[in-house]
Amino acid sequence: MRNKTLVLHPHDNVGVALTDLSIGELIKDSENTVKIQDDISAKHKYALKNFTAGDDILMYGTIVGEATQSIPAGGAITLANIRHKTRKYRTSSQTYSWNPPDINSWKNKTFQGYLREDGQVGTANYWLVLPLVFCENTNIKLLQEAFENALGFAKVNPYERQIRNLISGLGNEVVQKSTETVTNEITEKDFRVFENLDGIRFLTHNGGCGGTRNDAETLCALLAGYIHHPNVAGATVLSLGCQNAEAKILERKLQDLQKGNPKPVIIFDQQQEGTTDDYITKVIAQTWEGLKVANQSKRSSQPISKLVIGLECGGSDGFSGISANPALGRVSDLVVSNGGSAILSEFPELCGAEQNLIDRCKTPEIAQKFIRLMEEYAAAADRVGSGFDMNPSPGNIKDGLLTDAIKSCGAAKKGGTAPISGVLDYTEYLSSQGLNLLCTPGNDVESTTGLAGSGANIILFTTGLGTPTGNPICPVIKVATNHKLTSRMSDIIDFNAGSIISGDQTIEECGDDLLELVLKVASGEIIVKADQKRNFDFIPWKRGVSL
């Protein structure tokens, strides 16, 4: 550990503990000498000056809170002595000047991707099976079991043997009865019928009917984005026939996206097919023909400009805005500088970082759209008594993210420093190259679901506390903020950014290593942990208040 503490910006009046600090320790940096007044855990903050009630708390060079009582220099910053506060923001007439990173070493880098007819490039090749309404979920699961077992995509449940051992402890009579009904243990298939197909992915959800017509429109737009996604070769769609989310709405949304480059999409209406057996038999037969078409796709060498990286965080901690998030920012800047795109999500976690993002918008219209979406979302939260200030979870707070502004200013680091070329509302599909902002909740799965639906072909997801979240069609690379998490939850972590905290790497060095991993994942050379564990999480957002 090179340093025990860190001051993130010259204007900051609090520091961050990189390791546990004890009462009486003398902390020196280029600007301050402070005697620690309280025991302070790693990831938490301490005062660099004497505060009185009403004083602003500054981190990342901006307001992240307000002192509610006197705090001595060296004292711990806690929920007992500060509260959420942000700087007022406004539109800006200044032109943003960006100094992009040197990309000479990246110009000729490529990945092996699936080039689609519309010019998008997939990092995987899936056939998608999805329902228009929750009434079809049982049929989706029936199809999933049949296809995955027959085609070699099924996975052994590692806990089945443990349960069998528990059964054996009940006595010979029970064991004898149980073995009579089990002929063979399920084993993972070691073959693939379709060698160029990375899998068939099955979605279920609880929408499609019973809500508002707007809910149905939003769901159809999201599902259309998934079908249009470059990682999807084609889709089977199950409809009951009488639901709000009508097939014709999905078809219209697809036409808006595909612009003359349609994919194989097979839509079935159960109410028109007769018995379930007749229905499922027909679905399987026609899906089989679609799988044969999908199997004709092959990987080819593609430039970095074909990457669209989604930027996400979940289970964040006090190191997120210092290590993993800035590392993603480095990757984002490199991808954008190479002609690719990045999408920064989670609007409740941009509260307090608005002015920086507004100043980076390429046009006043882009800035105004961002402001409008933020204010509409914030107002909706306020109306139900749950403002953005309530975003930090108990886990966030325990590990140093005391206010939403502290969390948000660190979360915004995932977007690097590039100009903002577009702002997308939920379910809007990417249309502008470069860095885009996407209106999603802070809820991890609702947000990653939205990122994939807007065209991200790979998602980078930072975590300080650990989360298994994945996505059905888009690889999710899990990036840890610290060494301890990487060691403790190694089965879900793909990359360790803790080297920044320990001082072993700079943000730039760590980000470069992460981009190398991105290219390998995009090429199919490395399967991310979330996919290995089949964390195929999919939760559509119904535009309610979800922080």
132-157: per-residue pLDDT in tens?
999 999 999 999 999 988 887 877 77
- CATH for 1-83 is 2.30.130.110
* pLDDT at residue 169 greater than cutoff 90: no
Structure tokens given for 258: 């595909």
Question: What mean pLDDT do residues 210-234 have?
Answer: 96
Please report the DSSP string for 140-168 in residue order: HHHHHHHHHHHHT-----TTHHHHHHHHH
Cβ–Cβ < 8 Å for 354, 406: no
Cβ–Cβ < 8 Å for 380, 488: no
Angstrom CA distances, 343 to 147, 239, 318, 338, 450, stand at: 33, 31, 23, 15, 10
> Tell me: the pLDDT tens digits for 234-258?
999 999 999 999 999 999 999 999 9
The domain spans of the chain are 1-83, 306-532
Cα separation, 56 vs 63, whole angstroms: 6
> Tell me: the pLDDT tens digits for 334-349?
999 999 999 999 999 9
Cross-strand partners of 312:
461
Angstrom CA distances, 301 to 115, 198, 199, 288, 295, stand at: 9, 17, 21, 28, 18
Question: What mean pLDDT do residues 89-118 have?
Answer: 92
pLDDT band at 547 (very low <50, low <70, confident <90, very high): low
Question: What mean pLDDT do residues 36-57 have?
Answer: 95
Cα separation, 460 vs 55, whole angstroms: 36
